Amino acid sequence: MRKRTVTGALSLAAAVGIAVPLAAVPATAAPSAATATATATRAHCPQLSARPGWYGDNRERLQRMIDERGLCGKRHKKDADTGERGPKRPVAAFDWDNTVVKNDITDATLTWALAHDKILRPARWSDTSAWLTKAAERALTEACGTSVPVGSPLPTSRDTRCTDEIFEIRSEARTMDGSAAFGGKWNHRRTKPEYAWVPQLFAGHTPAQLTSYAQQAREEALAAPVGSERNVGTHTVPGYVRYYPQQRDLIRTLQRAGFDVYIVSAGSEPVTEAWSAGVGIDAGHTIAIRSVLRDGHITTGTKGCGGVPDGKGDSIPYIDGKRCWINQEIFGVEGPDAWKRQDAAHRIALGGGDANTDVTFVGDATGAHLVLNRNQDEIMCRAYDNADGRWVLNPMFIEPLPRKKDGYPCSTTGYTEPDGTLGPVRRLDGSVVPDQADTVYGG
């Protein structure tokens, strides 16, 4: 397993232990010598671009967090080497799809692979996922046939039925006739079978091959016009992907200010690595679903987290799983403790996401919780509740969603329980978050 602990000159406790002032100093107040010194220091700190796109005072709030938590604006003494594992610099972590880029790179890669016959026929479709139902196995077998030798490419570029079944199961967790594609038990805050299934579909390829497919899909998606669509069998999906300039600028500003910046995605790691370099994040700072390899090739096995052994995908970076992977890979927390909320000195300073899959790690941040509004219940309930005053809510930068007119059912069904049932969203003290109106939205 790759260890991603960070080195640097700053004690994280010092980096994340000071509250971010959210109120501006009154204009009539006479600046003290200390204030003047701090202002002069911040003037030399890396600054976010003034480009449009940030809602309200979000840019200013993020800048204050960077000034306060980053290496500039403070005096830091080099810590003696205590041998303790974990980062020495403040950490920022971002989800990828629809957070750093517009649209989904997993879908872009899978649609490219289907169009170029890159899925290898398994001996049995049930081998690809332990949760695949008999109805799904039957539908895939009938649609994709058995004439192609096991381990050879399926002709998905011209076989619409096969392509449709694969993509419907990936996108909707059901077969084309509407039958459930996944069954059994799993922790709904640690994994989602249709997410884990995508890297499992690429069993037999090497990680380098999968990265190459993602790079070719990336070229096509970046070249396609904004708003364009493409066909996948009889499905119509977005045909383009774009890096958000505001997020690219935020990441680079954080890096210049001394933050270690990570991507934590529920996509396949070789796919995410093909994209993360575009915002200056290397493979060592990219965390996603990690496949078990055999003889250098991807298998249907998935690496585990927090004491969960390698297996069928029980603990991918998904909701609470993102916290686990951050704690394990960045902060060096081992075993079941990696599933727990850590003390402030061992949590990220900034978390950025857009969906319920991001809510736990974004909520763990000690400096700012950045959320792009995609109308998803739990994360929007927490963002609007703003219990600690540090939630920074922004419409999507490209094609933002309109207002969710009926708001968010936080007090009743906003929270997904581990068994998949829905319940109320609760604060850390156990109190229930009231229903929230949608007030920060696009067109």
Same domain, 113 and 98: no
d(CA 433, CA 420): 19
Q: Please check whether residue 156 lies inside any domain of the structure.
A: yes
Burial class (CB in 10 A: 0-12, 13-18, 19+), 429: exposed
Q: Please check whether residue 441 lies inside any domain of the structure.
A: no
What does the pLDDT read at residue 73?
Answer: 54
Burial class (CB in 10 A: 0-12, 13-18, 19+), 179: middle
SS3 264: strand
pTM: 0.89
Same domain, 227 and 248: no
Same domain, 220 and 270: no
d(CA 263, CA 288): 8
State which amino acid sits at residue 290: R
Distances (CA, A) of 134 to 91, 130, 162, 193, 390: 44, 11, 16, 15, 47
Same domain, 356 and 264: yes
Find the domain containing 144 and state its range: 105-238
Question: Rg for the chain (alpha carbons), in Å?
Answer: 22
Same domain, 264 and 392: yes
Same domain, 229 and 250: no
Helix orientation angle between 245-256 and 58-69, rounded to the nearest 10 degrees: 20
The number of residues in the chain equals 443
What does the pLDDT read at residue 88?
Answer: 78
Q: Please check whether residue 28 lies inside any domain of the structure.
A: no
Same domain, 295 and 408: yes
Same domain, 207 and 133: yes
Q: Which stretches in the chain have pLDDT values below 50?
A: 1-38, 40-41, 75-85
Same domain, 306 and 213: no
d(CA 14, CA 5): 18
d(CA 106, CA 103): 9
Domain final position from 208, 223, 238: 238
What does the pLDDT read at residue 287?
Answer: 98
Angle at 382 between CA 378 and CA 388, to 5 degrees: 160
User: Can you name the residues that pair with 286 across neighbouring β-strands?
Assistant: 263
What does the pLDDT read at residue 42?
Answer: 56
Domain final position from 181, 212, 238: 238
How many CB atoms are located within 10 Å of the residue 401 CB?
15
And the tokens for 428?
A: 């850390």
Structural domains in the chain (count): 2
How many CB atoms are located within 10 Å of the residue 293 CB?
13
